[in-house]
Amino acid sequence: MAKHSFFVTGTDTGVGKTLVSAAILHAARTMGKHTLAMKPIASGCDRTPEGLRNEDALILQNAITEPLAYELINPVALEPAIAPHVAAEQAGRHITSDRLVGFCRGLQIRPADLLLVEGAGGWRVPLNDRETYSEFPRHLAMPVILVVSLRLGCINHALLTAEAIRSDGLRLAGWVANRTESEPMSCEQDTLNYLVNHMGAPCLGILPWLEQARPEMLASYLNIDGLFEN
């Protein structure tokens, strides 16, 4: 059974959740840990001879140490590159948190040191008309790792997301600051100092902007020892 499971969310879409997740998986690999990962819902999938495939899910598949069939990593693959609940509706599918929980529990029973589950978009992305994605980790009581893109407005987005995570009864296990633009944001160090002092959770790393960023290159910027302490 997976000893440590975490849900990876972001302050918004396009903040680098997949890159950060894969970097964490590579960092765990260097520590000799056995790892699993999944991206339960992925929109923006490409048609291939093997079926619908999502670039982010393939990155996760390449980063884990334990072999997994693609369908276990990404059980809900949707072609349109739009919000998951809209893509599902267009595909005639109905996504529920209970169904996603079932997929995840199938992986949790596998032996591993670490299981990362990457969400879609931010904390309140809809699954359907009644549920948001946050229902999924809440049902599993899964601690959360938050990816914060270092750009104007990130303090507000990060603190509001952290507040929402805790109000849903979940533990914020840590957060990762990710430089998603080539030019550093104005007053970046002041922003980082404020977040470190007010997030109420450890900063697991500050990832630099790299033109050809690869997860294995970014793993060295992370300190994930604390994820394995409890």
Q: Which residues are catalytic?
A: 39
Both tokens assigned to 45: 């999938």
- Backbone CA torsion sign across 216, 219, 220, 221: positive
Separation between Cα atoms, residue 87 and residue 92, nearest integer Å: 9
Q: Where are the beta strands (DSSP E) in the chain?
A: 2-10, 35-38, 41-42, 46-48, 51-53, 76-77, 112-122, 144-149, 172-178, 203-207
Separation between Cα atoms, residue 138 and residue 144, nearest integer Å: 10
Separation between Cα atoms, residue 42 and residue 67, nearest integer Å: 20
Separation between Cα atoms, residue 119 and residue 123, nearest integer Å: 8
- Backbone CA torsion sign across 95, 96, 98, 101: positive
User: DSSP class of residue 218?
Assistant: H
Pick from 102, 110, 117, 106: nearest CA to 5: 117
Both tokens assigned to 170: 């979940």
